[in-house]
Amino acid sequence: MASSPARPVPRRPSYRRGPAGLALAFATALTMGLLGPATASADQVPFESDAETSDNVTHVTNVPKSEAMDAFNSDLAFTGDYAIGGNYDGFVVYDISEPEAPRVVSEVLCPGGQGDVSVSGDLLYFSVDYPRAGDECGAPSVPTTDPDGFEGIRVFDISDKANPQYVAAVRTDCGSHTNTLVPGKDGEHDYVYVSSYSPSSRFPNCQPPHDKISVIEIPVDNPAEAALVSDPVLFPEGGNRSTSGCHDITAYPEKDIAAGACMGDGIMMDISDPAHPVVTDVVRDENFAFWHSATFTNNADTVIFTDELGGGGGAICTEEYGPERGANALYSIDGSKDDPGLAFESYYKIPRPQSETENCVAHNGSLIPVPGRNYFVQSWYQGGVSVIDFNDPENPREIGYFDRAPINEDRLVLGGSWSAYYYNGHVYSSDISRGLDVLRLTDPRMRVAERVTYDEFNPQSQPSYRPGRGHGR
């Protein structure tokens, strides 16, 4: 979910990835590159960690990237005993049934930008935000000015984890930088909220003002019929500063609410009608450079927004930038669902200064499911992974960490943890350049979280939890 580095040219200015246009779906499987397992299991070679950790965090293992999937790793989603890892060249399916020895089940070559992922039963929704010459996975890249370039959402059938099948594609205006799953209330449809931004009059499929998101409806029993059903304008009077769309949205379907990080604005939405979300509150913070992502507390009385100052490529965790820039902002949620109201409580930034050669800023994380308490695990690129206690939202503090040395001591090289999420007893961190890291929290305060299990977990489609509860369809 970062606004990331090194991308093909020509390319839009600012943080965005790429455009698209009209809705499209088709029934036949499409061409893609499927690679066999390429990475050795962690139990085949004794594992020695190269990271510094706090006493309550253990680096269990690392699964390095294969040579075939050598682009940047991005976000994660989880289903049963599997983690799905996005990549700028496609995605990787990991078997994590044994967290100490994960193995690669399949790798799908399907380039198209950062490859944000959401999983729903046997379906995978995959973001495309670099324009391609066609819908199929093997289509070459094309300029952003090409009116026929494809960007949007690709849909895969992952019922066979060793052999995912590409079954549909839907174009969306300005492509899909990120996507958020909202399950339909009828159990027969999924809705995917597509976030994208940075329009230009030069981009035929991404025209300004683009103060909207795209909503795709997918019949779960017939995903080839996936189609755009609405594109609600969230900022009818224009957003703050450079707001022109959203970077990311986190939904809390059980409570019919969502929080959007929309570049210059943070928003709350009513999603009781998932096809037609409605903005209920907007908040602005002049300290924030780029509203990036959001996470609710389990009881939805607080929301954490993140500020990706520098777009993920800057060394923002230095003493020069201080404790409040490129940080989290915690807001309490007051009032009703229809009129929630957001009240600022505090900022949080990792207390471990990083070097000038380490890109570091607030990025993706999730709650640690401890009922009645508020703990958060979060990636900070080369700042590593931070475990945060925010039970007092006015005074959040770090209580654990995982942190590697700089990739390069002499110059700034992009890397580090893109996403860090707690899932069924372990933390999984997607490292941009070094693969998948597995961490275990040994803090007694987190022990009860091990009794909370899920059948499926999309961090941007937030479930509620209690001990022993499973989550899924």
Higher-confidence position of 10 and 453: 453
Question: In Å, what is the CA distance from 286 to each residue of 238, 265, 316, 384?
Answer: 17, 10, 17, 26
CA dist 361 and 417 (Å) reads: 10
Residues 272-278, mean pLDDT to the nearest whole number: 98
Residue 473 maps to a domain: no
**132-140: Cβ within 8 A, 24+ apart:** 135/24, 135/26, 135/30, 135/169, 136/30, 136/31, 136/32, 136/166, 137/30, 137/31, 137/32, 137/33, 137/90, 137/108, 137/109, 137/110, 137/111, 137/166, 138/31, 138/32, 138/33
Q: Among candidates 313, 184, 172, 317, which has minimal Cα distance to 246?
A: 172
pLDDT in tens, 301-315: 999 999 999 999 999
Q: Please indicate, yes or no, if residue 17 is contained in any of the structural domains.
A: no
How far, in Å, CA of 334 to CA of 163, rounded? 47
The β-bridge partners of 228 are 216
**Rounded to whole angstroms, what are the CA distances from 283 to 200, 287, 382?**
25, 12, 29
Contact status, residue 330 vs residue 393, Cβ threshold 8 Å:
yes
Residue 436 lies in a domain: yes
* Mean predicted confidence (pLDDT) in 109-120: 96
Dihedral, 378, 384, 387, 393 alpha carbons, nearest 10: -60
pLDDT of 444 higher than 90: yes
CA 380 and chain centroid, separation: 13
Band the pLDDT of 38: cuts 50, 70, 90.
Answer: low
Q: What is the pLDDT of residue 26?
A: 29
Q: Give the pLDDT confidence of 212-224 residue by residue, as tens digits.
A: 999 999 999 999 9
The structure tokens listed for 42 are 């962690």
The single residue listed with the structure tokens 């193995």 is 103
Position 24 in a domain: no
| Among 155, 173, 178, 187, CA closest to 251 | 178
Cα 79 from Cα 338, distance rounded (Å): 32
Is the residue at 1 inside a domain?
A: no
Q: Say what the pTM is.
A: 0.91
Query: Does residue 194 contact residue 214 with C-beta atoms inside 8 Å?
Result: yes
77, 117 in Cβ contact below 8 A? yes
Give residue 253's domain range. Answer: 33-457
Q: Specify the CATH number for the domain of residue 425.
A: 2.130.10.10
Q: What is the mean pLDDT of residues 45-61?
A: 93
The sign of the CA dihedral 310, 314, 316, 317 is: positive
What pLDDT score was predicted for residue 46?
A: 77
The answer to whether residues 255 and 248 touch, using CB atoms and an 8 Å cutoff, is no
pLDDT confidence tier of residue 30, bands split at 50, 70 and 90 = very low
Share of the chain above pLDDT 70, in %: 89
Q: What pLDDT, on a 0 to 100 scale, did the predictor assign at position 230?
A: 98
* pLDDT (tens digit per residue) in 399-437: 999 999 999 999 999 999 999 999 999 999 999 999 999
Q: How many domains does one find in the chain?
A: 1
Angle CA 436–52–48, to nearest 5: 60
Residue tagged 């997918």 (tokens): 218
The pLDDT value recorded for residue 7 is 27
Which pLDDT band holds residue 1 (cuts at 50, 70, 90)?
A: very low
Q: Is residue 113 part of a domain?
A: yes
**Average pLDDT over all residues of the chain:** 90
Amino acid at 182: V
**Is residue 293 predicted with pLDDT exceeding 90?**
yes
Band (35; pLDDT cuts 50, 70, 90)? confident
Residue 26 belongs to some domain of the structure: no
Q: Which of 94, 78, 137 is nearest to 113 (CA)?
A: 137
Mean pLDDT value across residues 1-24: 31
| pLDDT of 19 | 26
- Is residue 358 pLDDT above 70, yes or no? yes
**pLDDT band with cut points at 50, 70 and 90 for residue 243:** confident
What residue type is assigned to position 277 of the chain? Answer: P
Residue 242: per-residue pLDDT? 78
Alpha-carbon distance of 230 to 246, in angstroms, equals 15
| Rg of the chain taking only CA atoms, in angstroms | 20
Q: Is 248 part of any domain?
A: yes
Give the separation between CA 49 and CA 425, rounded to whole angstroms: 19
Q: Is the pLDDT of residue 11 over 70?
A: no
Q: What pLDDT was estimated at residue 469? A: 53
Write down the pLDDT at residue 8: 28
